[in-house]
Amino acid sequence: MFFITNRQIDTSKRGYDKFTKHPNEKGPNELQAVEITGVNPPQIKLLNDRLTPTEVKRFKNKFSLNIDTGDPQYASLKVACSIFERARKECKNVLLYVHGYNNDIEDVYATARELERLYGVIVVTFTWPANGGGALSGTLSYLADKRDARASQDALNRCIDLVGKYHGLLTMSARKQLEGRAHKKFPNNPTRQRSYLSELLKRDCDLSVSMLCHSMGNYVLKHAMTSELAESRKLIFDNVILAAADTNNEKHKDWVEALQVRKSVFITINENDFALSWSRRKPGEQQKARLGHYLRKLNAQNALYIDFTRERGVNNSHSYFDKKTASSNKGIQRFFLKAFAGNNVMSYLQYEAHNNTYRPK
């Protein structure tokens, strides 16, 4: 599994401790790619930042990429090719996961693995310097994470830009190969070529990419949307899921409506969410109603608000896409299965007109 991070990596440490709680020493926008495999113990490999000429040629030839082998290429190309190859081989979709406050790497990795097992997607994690320490760590830890979240906004923008860049590059190359197959099969019949190409694209290249932002990960995204870079405003994802968002409900439409998606923006809400109830007790701005905790003023025109408050198994959960909840409520599991796969889920939702929300059915 690949992690993209702006954390400082300490190669002298072992295991998860390689990921520090501090931004990269070269600056908070500096990204590194890390591969994690196994659990006991985990194998954590920091990818070399720049690819060798031999690696570049291999990727160019294997995937028929429209790149200049004389130009510098980086670890992000290797990550993208590896994920694209796996996605096509296993017929799986890709989910970019942005975690929240109070998450150390072991927890983040466990959640990402659980998402893959439960929902049949390939997870790529963007991890930023969340301090961790548990709910009892108090206001200072929470506010420190908010500062790190704001500082990570352009790192997330860079990550999203790379997702869009390489998804476009790889799908375009795949499409050209399929066009060649269609032309070879029906060289003198353009109509049959187009029909056959559609079949091939559906079968071999029907890959969606969606994004899940959880808890304070939404705060990172919110600030990324207002950045001068704002790569997060581009049309890259099929679905965007804003789960248990630890950011203000107030004026959320201003940044949510700037999100461009091919299908849907989902905002999930649980009025009994213990973590958001706790974060709302913080001083100053944090006293305002949280987006993932409030069933009023749900007015972003491009968003579908999904109310999980009264759903079986949710209770006061902050992570109601987890195994515990999904195993006790097939409607919830089906919703996230469809949403994470980039599908349209309207036929599995029941509309509640009184507050502009939907419930899984």
- pLDDT tens across 152-190, in order? 999 999 999 999 999 999 988 888 888 888 888 888 888
| Residue 127 to residue 5: CA distance in whole angstroms | 5
151-179 burial, b if ≥16 CB within 10 A, otherwise e? bbbbbbbbbbbbbbbbbebbeebbeeebb
Instruction: Name the percent of the chain lying above pLDDT 90.
Output: 73
Q: Where are the domains of the chain?
A: 2-360
Q: Which pLDDT score is estimated for 184? A: 87
Q: Which pLDDT score is estimated for 139? A: 54
**Residue 131 above 90 pLDDT?**
no
- pLDDT tens across 292-310, in order? 999 999 999 999 999 999 9
- pLDDT tens across 214-251, in order? 999 999 999 999 877 677 678 899 999 999 999 999 99
Whole-structure pTM value: 0.92
**Residue 135 above 50 pLDDT?**
no
**Residue 140 above 60 pLDDT?**
no
- CA angle in degrees (0–180, nearest 5) for 124-20-240: 30
Q: Which pLDDT score is estimated for 134? A: 43
Q: Which pLDDT score is estimated for 348? A: 95
Rounded average pLDDT over 281-292? 71
Between the alpha carbon of residue 343 and those of residues 15, 131, 209, the distances in Å are 36, 34, 10
Q: Which pLDDT score is estimated for 133? A: 45
Range 221-224, long-range pairs (CB < 8 A, 24+ positions)? 221/98, 221/156, 222/247, 222/252, 222/255, 223/149, 223/150, 223/153, 224/153, 224/154, 224/156, 224/157, 224/160
- pLDDT tens across 59-78, in order? 999 999 999 999 999 999 99
Q: Number of helices (H) and strands (E), helices first, in the chain?
A: 11, 13
| Residue 92 to residue 121: CA distance in whole angstroms | 5
Asked if residue 204 lies in contact with residue 174, where contact means CB atoms within 8 angstroms, the answer is: yes
Q: At what angle do helices 53-63 and 153-185 cross, to 10 degrees?
A: 50
